Chain A
Amino acid sequence: MLTDVELKAKSIEYRATILRIIKQARAGHTGGDLSSVDILNVLYNNILRVSPETFADPNRDRYVQSKGHTVEVLYAVLADRGFFPAQELDTLGKYQSHFIGHPTRSVPGIEQNTGALGHGLAVAVGMALAAKLDRRDYRVYTLLGDGELDEGSNWEASLAASHYKLDNLTVIIDRNGLQITGSTEKVNPLEPLADKFRAFGYAVQEVDGNDTQALMDVFSRTPFETDKPNLVLAHTVKGKGISFIENAAKWHHRVPTDEEYAIAQRELQQAREQLS
């Protein structure tokens, strides 16, 4: 279990890794990676009961990343957790690499291939339902983007999550408010989002999704209500941690130039110094 200061230090290093591998691969989903860093950090370091040694254990906790396009954050965290050597990340997107631009099970630690949006929640529901059927106590977590909620399949899966009383399922929404075209509320409005999830039968908690301490607190309290699936509406900043990437829709999948990369490195260095 990491302390909050240790978690915050990890988040800085994960952001550095993400920018480095995106720059090297000349492709990646920078904005959404950075918005969800703190969520994956807290999950993998302090919440999920899973490790490279226990990944084949039927009782392990599961994580399904439905917003598959932000795979770089998952790679950064899995490498740090020892699922594979960190230097393998240098092959991201390269010819014959198994580090693809979306999650696949060919990478150790990844449960399910994703990339087409609106798929992860149903799969996570199936995993959580299997735990209930087999009376296992593992928990299932899935991370969805907010733009992804346009896909109707999420709402089908939500009906089933509620019907089967999956309080071992935690659905996390990376509510950064932006999708590739612009604001989610201009593209296809989602609000009132928390009310919609409540109406679908979730126990909903809203949290600052870039605050590791707040995330720790909320994840520690599941199930929020017995017999209800958990929904963490994580309010995040797209591009969090790098000033010129924050809240800029154009950074959905933009790759930093040399100059931008140098500025980002300096900002991360300042964050390290402030933390210590």
Chain B
Amino acid sequence: MELGRANLDVFADTVLELARQDRDVLVVTSDSRGSGKLTHYGETLPDQIIELGIAEQNVIGISAGLASAGKKVFATSPACFITARAFEQIKNDVAYSDQPVRIVGISAGVSYGALGATHHSLHDYAALRAVHNITIIAPADNFEAREAIKAIHHIDHPVYIRFGKAAIPHVHGADSTFTIGKAAMVREGHDLTFIACGETVPVALAAAELLAAQGIECRVLSMHTIKPLDEQAISQAARETGAIITVEEHSIHGGLGEACAAVLMQQGPVVPFKIVGFPDETMVTGSQKEIFNHYGISPDGLAQRARQLLGDQQPTR
């Protein structure tokens, strides 16, 4: 896989492109234009960036008011803060009030690495999945990030999108398409499916390549939209490949894995199944990659999980 750029950079470029064409596009920040790679945007379009200082609740509340008056707001702030400090504003001012704010959670998951638990966002899928009327997107690579930002430029309802700040490999080819709510198959296979989201997708794809060398062909789905979930793709993967491993940069509680499990338990088929994410403990100290490796979100770690799942349990398809 060829290494691309950070999704954060892709976001900054794409939103600048959109804002140049559409004067209603506004970026709202919480002293976060630097960490959001939005310094150039702010210099280029100073009238289309609203700085609110270190005040995430204010970012969401004011964004709701701006959206109600027709502004196309990208409320941009570290995922850890915007989805926790401003959770009630997201729930009431945006989702319940149906104000079409695009909430952009930057440096998500464990992107901040050794800065520790205050800066990790391992709760955001779980918290927002339980809030009515908000779409949740975690793009896997630069293609998905760009397409997602373009797609949410024209929306009528709230969206939360999150990504990290490390350069990530391309998982999509030139002929790929992106549709919100529709899983993207980035690798076909018949022995097992990795259902991954966000920046764990390239890791799952690398694991699939390791396993292919051992004669195990894995499907890899980029489940970039965590809500609404592409239930059909999940059931189809279970039917056609007989085993599923979910992978996410999030707590194992309440995220993509449990969402997929609920689909299979209620709609079937029930197949050997494993959720890979972060356990319910204080995260080990390290870089994003070191933390991933520690918890088995690595090509080797995922390949081993796949072999265990296929060896330990008999598929019931």
Interface residues of A (CB under 8 A from B): 58, 64, 104-105, 111-116, 119, 121-131, 133-134, 153, 156-157, 159-160
> Is B62 a contact partner of A126 (Cβ separation < 8 A)?
yes
> Is A153 a contact partner of B97 (Cβ separation < 8 A)?
no
Inter-chain contacts of B228 with A (CB < 8 A) = none
Interface string of B37-67 (1 = CB under 8 A from A): 0000000000100101101011011111111
Q: How far is the CB of B205 from chain A (nearest CB, A)?
A: 41
Instruction: Please tell me the number of chain B residues within 8 Å of chain A, measured between CB atoms.
Output: 28
11 contacts between A and B (CB under 8 A): A58-B69, A115-B92, A116-B88, A119-B92, A123-B68, A127-B65, A133-B47, A133-B71, A134-B70, A153-B57, A160-B55
How far does the alpha carbon of A202 sit from the alpha carbon of B55 in the complex, in Å? 19
> Is B65 a contact partner of A126 (Cβ separation < 8 A)?
yes
> Is B57 a contact partner of A122 (Cβ separation < 8 A)?
yes
Whether, in the assembled complex, B98 has its beta carbon less than 8 Å from a beta carbon of chain A, the answer is: yes
Q: How far is the CB of A259 from chain B (nearest CB, A)?
A: 38
Given A112-B93, A122-B57, A130-B70: 14 more A-B contacts, CB < 8 Å: A105-B97, A113-B92, A113-B96, A114-B92, A122-B58, A124-B65, A126-B69, A127-B65, A130-B65, A130-B71, A153-B57, A153-B58, A157-B61, A157-B62
A156-B57 contact, Cβ under 8 Å, with A58-B69, A116-B88, A119-B92: yes
How far does the alpha carbon of A109 sit from the alpha carbon of B89 in the complex, in Å? 22
Q: How far is the CB of B47 from chain A (nearest CB, A)?
A: 7
> Is B55 a contact partner of A156 (Cβ separation < 8 A)?
yes
How far does the alpha carbon of A153 sit from the alpha carbon of B55 in the complex, in Å? 9
Inter-chain contacts of A116 with B (CB < 8 A) = 88, 92
Query: Which of chain A's residues has its CB closest to B52's CB?
Result: A160
A123-B65 contact, Cβ under 8 Å, with A112-B93, A133-B71: yes
Inter-chain contacts of A130 with B (CB < 8 A) = 65-66, 68-71
> Is A159 a contact partner of B55 (Cβ separation < 8 A)?
yes
How far does the alpha carbon of A128 sit from the alpha carbon of B26 in the complex, in Å? 15
> Is A122 a contact partner of B62 (Cβ separation < 8 A)?
yes
Inter-chain contacts of B93 with A (CB < 8 A) = 112-113, 119, 122-123
Lowest 8 A-B CB distances belong to which pairs?
A: A126-B65, A122-B61, A130-B69, A126-B62, A156-B58, A123-B65, A113-B97, A127-B65
Q: How far is the CB of B48 from chain A (nearest CB, A)?
A: 9
How far does the alpha carbon of A159 sit from the alpha carbon of B31 in the complex, in Å? 14
> Is A119 a contact partner of B58 (Cβ separation < 8 A)?
no
Query: Which of chain B's residues has its CB closest to A115's CB?
Result: B92
Select which of A64, A105, A160 is within 8 A of B62 by beta carbon.
Answer: A160
Inter-chain contacts of A128 with B (CB < 8 A) = 65
A122-B97 contact, Cβ under 8 Å, with A130-B70, A156-B57: no
Inter-chain contacts of A64 with B (CB < 8 A) = 65
Q: How far is the CB of B134 from chain A (nearest CB, A)?
A: 14
Inter-chain contacts of A160 with B (CB < 8 A) = 52-53, 55, 58, 62
A125-B62 contact, Cβ under 8 Å, with A130-B71, A131-B69, A133-B71: yes
Query: Which of chain B's residues has its CB closest to A58's CB?
Result: B70
